[in-house]
Structure 1
Amino acid sequence: MGRNGTVMLNLGGLIDVDKYRYVYLMVFLLLFVLILCSNCIIICLIWIHRNLHEPMYIFIAALSLNTLLFSTVIYPKLLVDVLSHQQRISYSACLVQVFFFYSFGASDIMLLLAMSYDRYVSICRPLQYASTMSTTTVSVFLALSWFVPACLMSVTVVVQSKQKICSLSFEGLFCTAKMTKIHCMVPTFLTVWTSITLLCIAVFPVLFIFFTYFKIFMVAYRSDGEVRKKVVDTCLPHLLVLMATVCLIAFDVILGLLESVLPKSAQLILSLQTVVYNPLFNPIIYGVKMKEIRKHIKKMLCCNRVRISKTQVE
């Protein structure tokens, strides 16, 4: 128990904190700054340049914003834990972290679903694109991408908050589904609801995405080189990001299933995978692979070089 009767949980995910404290601090701080800067650049470029005010780029900006929110839920607490002698979190804060971790993670998949549908209409039904992907349609997709996961996860978190606690510690860098191990029992309703949630925000959307891309590649296979080039330029980055997101889900599931047999170092590495490469991977892929975004990044870098040169001359 903490002050004022607050239930405090001990996190045991870090290894030899006292020995590697400043290594952890520098690595986490560097990663957090890189994630913030890279995703903010993508958002700002799409916001500023009117030729990027298209559904595809709006979804990319939303994905970067979602990544910023996801990372902000995790990294500040990690930095505090590294600087603390005890890695602890209140039970209520842990539930909040679980809610946002999975809500924003699921929103990534929902936004990728919206992107896949956008590319499907653009390539398979180009004459209907303007009417189908209207401002209203894009707004609905964006709203649902955040609203549906939040609603589903709110039920999960509320049910978890009602459960009796039998342990005050668990192995983890931050609060995920692993924290259910502190409960004396997991009710059948929660197990069923978790399965339904996983189907709604992960399995079915991913299957739909793969189906749309299968249709896109079939059209590209029967079309000329121009259509194939469009598919490679606009669909390949989305597929790469999708695979990274699927890996994030896989790592979290593996941690939950194999925690008892995995060494602590392996658990640490897998936990870091869920919050490191995916938030960094997204802006890098879109900055390198998306032609229009890459063009604006080059212009921005060239302008900065010119300004620096002028300042040095003066």
Structure 2
Amino acid sequence: MTVTNSTQYFSLGAYFDTGVFKPLYFLIVLALYICIIGANTSLIVVICVNRSLHEPMYLFLCSLFVNELYGSSGLFPFLLVQILSDIHTVSAPLCFLQISSVYTYANIQYSNLAIMSYDRYLAICHPLQYNTRMTSNKVILLIALSWSILFIAILISIYLSVPLQLCGNIINKVYCDNYSIVKLACSDTTVNNVYGLIVTFLLIISPVFLIFYTYMRILRVCFSGSKQTRQKAFSTCAPHLASLLNVSCGCCFEVLQNRFDMEFVPNMLRILLSLYWLTGQPLLNPVLYGLNMTKIRITCKRLCLVKRQAARGIKTRERHIAQKTLKKYHCTALLRNVLIMGESPLPITPPVNAFEDTLHSSPSSLYSPLTLSSSPSPLEFNDRMKAIRRVGSMSFTPAPQRRPPKSQKQRRAPSLPASSPCLPQ
């Protein structure tokens, strides 16, 4: 057994030859990753865009969704590369980078759930003091502390693991794990073990106790209240409890797999259960909070309806403009025909379906050469051409007119019959 002060790479021993199913596994993992990104990103955008959701509870949810994007981005691209690769090795810096991403994701998940349970405790048990206790500055402070402190704690753990003297480089998992690296060490690991227990107690067990305490107080208040209060509190707290149970079951199996020998469990089942706490939460939380939280569900429906109505409005507006343009062209051609034929426009009664016939006719028919019943004299022809130019320059949009003085007589222009389609609308 060789002792090395610095290992350049680690081998992941949990992978096996998948044969012809390699593209299938790759597509499944890629589809999961796309679903996680799409669901969490859409909820983040909905919360950030709508001012009605700028409340402490929804801001904590936004922090939760950002953490899920962060954790899944530290795992899924690595899995996709390893599935397509024939040699399952990873460099030491990249391995420690993945350890920091995965471990901070798990700890931030518990801290976010603890902060959300405290927020629900204040909202339900102390509703009159909620606005004074949970201010916007306090929300920002809680989110910043939950992220910064956990990053520092995980960086210290990695700093203690990097200088260890290792007797091997095989990790029996599909991703890098800090405790697996500590088990490979030949040197004394007492400091690592003690620090790991302290961090586990402060960052995981303490938030779990806080969550259970707050929900016991919430249930006590709910059972002493009315039926409507119980239903409202249950609809608010049920997603939090389901999310807590989900992540706790995944982390519990991960701890058992690290601490005890699990050789009797099939390899495929071990891989799925070791990945569940990293994939189950990002997939389940958008469904829990997106469907059960009334405000988020209503806002998502409203956005979908607005997009659909906007698309319909664009199509309707374009059709209206096209119909108005055709109607204007029809009226211009009709007036030109009347003036060239030398007839008065007043006795003309166009057919009822004149506009519909124009819509179905080709645009070139509007400007087809007109046949004169009799060849006019040069002077008459010039007068008619001037009239045509005046009609061509007419605007069918009524412009605001100044009211003439009372002393002048207002000249009344000849108007078309009410049934004519040439009247501007």
TM-score over 0.5 for the pair? yes
- Distance in structure 1 (CA, Å) of the matches to 2:35 and 2:203: 28
The percent of aligned pairs where both chains have the same amino acid is 30
Other-structure match for 1:188: 190
- Could you list the per-position Cα deviations for residues 65-92 of structure 1 after superposition, in whole angstroms to 9, with x for gaps in the alignment? 0000000000011111112111111112
Other-structure match for 2:210: 208
| Cα distance, 1:182 vs structure 2 | 2.7
Other-structure match for 1:265: 268
Matched residue type, 2:112: L
SS at match of 2:301: helix
SS at match of 1:10: strand
- Rate the CA distance shift 1:148–1:175 in 2: closer, same or farther, 3 A: same
- Could you list the per-position Cα deviations for residues 247-305 of structure 1 after superposition, in whole angstroms to 9, with x for gaps in the alignment? 22112112212334433122111122122211100111001110001111222333444
| Cα distance, 1:8 vs structure 2 | 1.3
CA-based RMSD of the aligned residues comes to 1.9
Other-structure match for 2:181: 179
Q: Is the 8 A contact 2:10 2:91 kept in 1?
A: yes
Which sits farther off after the overlay, 63-72 or 145-154?
A: 145-154
| Cα distance, 1:60 vs structure 2 | 0.3
- Distance in structure 1 (CA, Å) of the matches to 2:246 and 2:41: 20
Other-structure match for 1:226: 228
- Residue correspondence of structure 1 range 60-209 to structure 2 within 5 A: 60-176=61-177, 177-185=179-187, 187-209=189-211
Q: Is the 8 A contact 1:70 1:100 kept in 2?
A: yes
| Cα distance, 1:311 vs structure 2 | 7.9
- Distance in structure 1 (CA, Å) of the matches to 2:274 and 2:187: 24
Q: Is the 8 A contact 1:104 1:146 kept in 2?
A: no
SS at match of 2:14: coil
Which sits farther off after the overlay, 36-45 or 229-238?
A: 229-238
| Cα distance, 1:186 vs structure 2 | 5.3
Other-structure match for 1:31: 32
- Distance in structure 2 (CA, Å) of the matches to 1:186 and 1:80: 34
| Cα distance, 1:120 vs structure 2 | 0.4
TM-score normalised by L of structure 2? 0.69
- Distance in structure 2 (CA, Å) of the matches to 1:277 and 1:311: 41
| Cα distance, 1:185 vs structure 2 | 4.4
Other-structure match for 2:48: 47
| Cα distance, 1:306 vs structure 2 | 4.4
Which sits farther off after the overlay, 304-313 or 174-183?
A: 304-313
- Distance in structure 1 (CA, Å) of the matches to 2:78 and 2:11: 13
| Cα distance, 1:224 vs structure 2 | 1.3
Other-structure match for 2:303: 300
Structure 1: gaps (5+ residues): none
Matched residue type, 1:253: V
Q: Is the 8 A contact 1:251 1:273 kept in 2?
A: no
Other-structure match for 2:350: none
- Rate the CA distance shift 1:309–1:10 in 2: closer, same or farther, 3 A: farther
Matched residue type, 2:146: S
Matched residue type, 1:251: F
- Rate the CA distance shift 1:132–1:9 in 2: closer, same or farther, 3 A: same
- Distance in structure 1 (CA, Å) of the matches to 2:250 and 2:173: 16
- Distance in structure 2 (CA, Å) of the matches to 1:166 and 1:285: 45
Other-structure match for 2:294: 291
SS at match of 1:9: strand
SS at match of 1:276: helix
Q: Is the 8 A contact 2:7 2:169 kept in 1?
A: no
Alignment equivalent of 1:245, drawn from 233, 247, 259 = 247
- Distance in structure 2 (CA, Å) of the matches to 1:15 and 1:297: 42
| Cα distance, 1:310 vs structure 2 | 6.8
- Rate the CA distance shift 1:124–1:49 in 2: closer, same or farther, 3 A: same
Q: Is the 8 A contact 2:57 2:119 kept in 1?
A: yes
Q: Which structure has the bigger radius of gyration?
A: 2
| Cα distance, 1:309 vs structure 2 | 6.0
- Distance in structure 1 (CA, Å) of the matches to 2:255 and 2:86: 29
- Rate the CA distance shift 1:309–1:171 in 2: closer, same or farther, 3 A: farther
SS at match of 1:172: coil
Aligned residue pairs total 310
Using CA pairs under 8 Å that are at least 6 residues apart, name the structure with larger relative contact order, 1 or 2. Answer: 1
| Cα distance, 1:6 vs structure 2 | 6.9
| Cα distance, 1:167 vs structure 2 | 1.1
Structure 2: gaps (5+ residues): 1-5, 320-425
| Cα distance, 1:136 vs structure 2 | 1.6
